[in-house]
């Protein structure tokens, strides 16, 4: 069997339609959208068409869409922008313990610069409590930032309810929707979202292009200073090919969303049930149903996730343990610790994230190979030996 890519939460391949759409802007369509001659006007038009496509996909207006260089940049911009602008009003930000580092590290930076941050805990399924949120709100609270879908365990937060609470209390609401857009329905006006981040490479677009949605009437500080691009808010000559690709990718993802989500959730459940039924001392991480249609995350007691990944790699199966950004470090994932896993169990986690290329045959092959790999690793594990001795 050829390579099996089960790491769509880390990144997705560019789909052919997207590649075709962006290619002309890497070749003959190289005009700078800020210039005035014909090839420049073509670039400008393509840029604005992509803005319309993104706006439509989110239920927003084109004027509310700002292109960025990544999802990370959009998170930084949203949070630091609001924090700096609303400093006279307050210095308190509410977020969660399970955010992506793009949000967490931005909050840590602000905490060193006079802001106060509340990290809401999550329950053992990875979901925040709305009661905790309400209790955390203070007169100085200027921003609530809660991710729509978690990149490690796939859990979905009650975004619409959070949006309603934020609106009632007149607090701005930002959501990191990088894992959500194109995978589950997102509508900024229905969900009461003031600011939203997304990234092209998580929805079959290229790396290095993202979006910050900022609701009309919400003041947005300029984040990168220079020329007048993005209506003076984000300077730098636009990544036209990347932006065109993002527009095409998001339009396709949203048009196929319902069908693809239904297909993937069947496959995801097959992965989860197949693992839990075949392999003892295993648990599912995240919520059983309130999770991304493509995400399965399980922990195996007595083994190291990293070793598991290497053995899977040798079988041509590419997966992840924790998130790509944290693997390589020995700290267990902050997300798995936040849902209450002990350190050892957090280390033995496996994240399978499916996508357009995933098939039933791939999952059967994976489920056929996995038990022997786990057994092999447990046979080498001193922890497992102790466990067997204690039980005997
Ligand atoms: C991937 C990811 C990001 C970062 O997006 P980049 O475009 O890779 O910078 C932020 N948040 C979440 C939830 C992600 O999964």
Mutate-to-test residue for ligand 1 from 67, 72, 106, 152, highest number of ligand atoms within 8 A of CB: 72
Mutate-to-test residue for ligand 1 from 7, 69, 101, 176, highest number of ligand atoms within 8 A of CB: 176
pTM metric for this prediction: 0.97
Task: Please report the pLDDT score of residue 331 as a whole number.
Answer: 80
Closest C-alpha among 134, 139, 141 to residue 83: 141
In this model, does residue 289 exceed pLDDT 90? Answer: yes
84 phi, psi to nearest 5 deg: -70, -40
Task: Please report the pLDDT score of residue 392 as a whole number.
Answer: 83
What structural domains does the chain harbor?
Answer: 4-10+257-391 (3.90.1150.10), 16-253 (3.40.640.10)
C-alpha–C-alpha distance, residues 62 and 243, integer Å: 14
C-alpha–C-alpha distance, residues 366 and 238, integer Å: 42
Q: What is the pLDDT of residues 220-268, one digit of tens each?
A: 999 999 999 999 999 999 999 999 999 999 999 999 999 999 999 999 9
Q: What is the pLDDT of residues 266-282, one digit of tens each?
A: 999 999 999 999 999 99
Q: What is the pLDDT of residues 142-164, one digit of tens each?
A: 999 999 999 999 999 999 999 99
* Nearest atom, ligand 1, residue 9 CA: 15
In this model, does residue 79 exceed pLDDT 70? Answer: yes
- Whether 157 lines ligand 1, by a CB cut-off of 6 Å, is no
As a whole number, mean pLDDT of residues 280-300 equals 97
Confidence band, pLDDT 50/70/90 cuts, at residue 1: low
Task: Please report the pLDDT score of residue 325 as a whole number.
Answer: 45
Coil, helix or strand for 378? helix
| Distance between Cα 377 and ligand 1 center (Å) | 31
Could you give the angle at the alpha carbon of 378 between the alpha carbons of 372 and 384, nearest 5°?
Answer: 150
Coil, helix or strand for 143? strand
Q: Which two tokens stand for residue 330?
A: 């020995």
Confidence band, pLDDT 50/70/90 cuts, at residue 323: very low
As a whole number, mean pLDDT of residues 107-119 equals 98
Task: Please report the pLDDT score of residue 2 as a whole number.
Answer: 83
What distances in angstroms separate CA 91 from CA 115, 145, 214, 289, one per listed residue? 5, 14, 20, 36
In this model, does residue 329 exceed pLDDT 90? Answer: no
* Nearest atom, ligand 1, residue 72 CA: 9
Classify residue 342 by its DSSP letter.
-
Task: Please report the pLDDT score of residue 328 as a whole number.
Answer: 53
Residue with CA nearest ligand 1 atom 3: 71
| Distance between Cα 84 and ligand 1 center (Å) | 23
65 phi, psi to nearest 5 deg: -105, 125
Task: Please report the pLDDT score of residue 187 as a whole number.
Answer: 98
- Whether 150 lines ligand 1, by a CB cut-off of 6 Å, is no
What distances in angstroms separate CA 328 from CA 12, 47, 63, 321, one per listed residue? 20, 37, 40, 10
Positions marked active-site: 325
DSSP labels, 274-300: HHHHHSSSEEE-S-SSSB-TTEEEEEE
């Amino acid at each position: 069997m050829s390579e099996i890519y089960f790491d769509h939460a880390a990144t997705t391949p560019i789909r052919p339609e997207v590649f075709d759409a962006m290619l002309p802007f890497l070749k003959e369509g190289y005009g700078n959208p800020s210039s005035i001659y014909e090839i420049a006007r073509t670039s400008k038009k393509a840029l604005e068409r992509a803005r319309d496509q993104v706006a439509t996909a989110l239920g927003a207006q084109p004027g509310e869409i700002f292109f960025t260089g990544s999802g990370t940049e959009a998170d930084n911009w949203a949070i630091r922008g609001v924090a700096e602008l609303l400093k006279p009003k307050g210095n308190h930000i509410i977020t969660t313990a399970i955010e992506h580092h793009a949000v967490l590290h931005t909050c840590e930076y602000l905490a060193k610069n006079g802001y106060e941050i509340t990290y809401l805990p999550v329950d053992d399924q990875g979901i925040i409590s709305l009661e905790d949120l309400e209790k955390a709100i203070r007169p100085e609270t200027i921003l609530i930032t809660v991710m729509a879908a978690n990149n490690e365990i796939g859990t979905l937060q009650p975004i619409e309810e959070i949006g309603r609470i934020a609106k009632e209390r007149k607090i701005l609401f930002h959501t990191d929707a990088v894992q959500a857009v194109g995978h589950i329905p997102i509508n900024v006006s229905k969900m009461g979202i003031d600011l939203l981040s997304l990234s092209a490479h998580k929805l079959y677009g290229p790396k290095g292009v993202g979006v910050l949605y900022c609701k009309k009437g919400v003041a947005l500080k300029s984040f990168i200073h220079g020329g007048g691009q993005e209506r003076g808010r984000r300077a730098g000559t636009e990544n036209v090919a990347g932006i065109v690709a993002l527009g095409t990718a998001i339009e396709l993802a949203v048009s196929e969303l319902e069908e693809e989500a239904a297909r993937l959730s069947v496959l995801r459940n097959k992965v989860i049930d197949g693992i839990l039924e075949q392999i003892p001392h295993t648990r599912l991480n995240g919520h059983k149903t309130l999770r991304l249609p493509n995400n399965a995350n399980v922990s195996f007691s007595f083994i190291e996730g990293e070793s598991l990944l290497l053995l899977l790699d040798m079988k041509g199966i590419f997966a992840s343990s924790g998130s790509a950004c944290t693997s390589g470090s020995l700290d267990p994932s902050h997300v798995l610790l936040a849902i209450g896993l002990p350190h050892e169990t957090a280390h033995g986690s496996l994240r399978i994230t499916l996508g357009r290329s995933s098939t039933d045959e791939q999952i059967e092959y994976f489920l056929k190979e996995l038990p022997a790999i786990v057994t092999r690793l447990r046979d080498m594990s001193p922890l497992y030996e102790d466990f067997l001795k204690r039980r005997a």
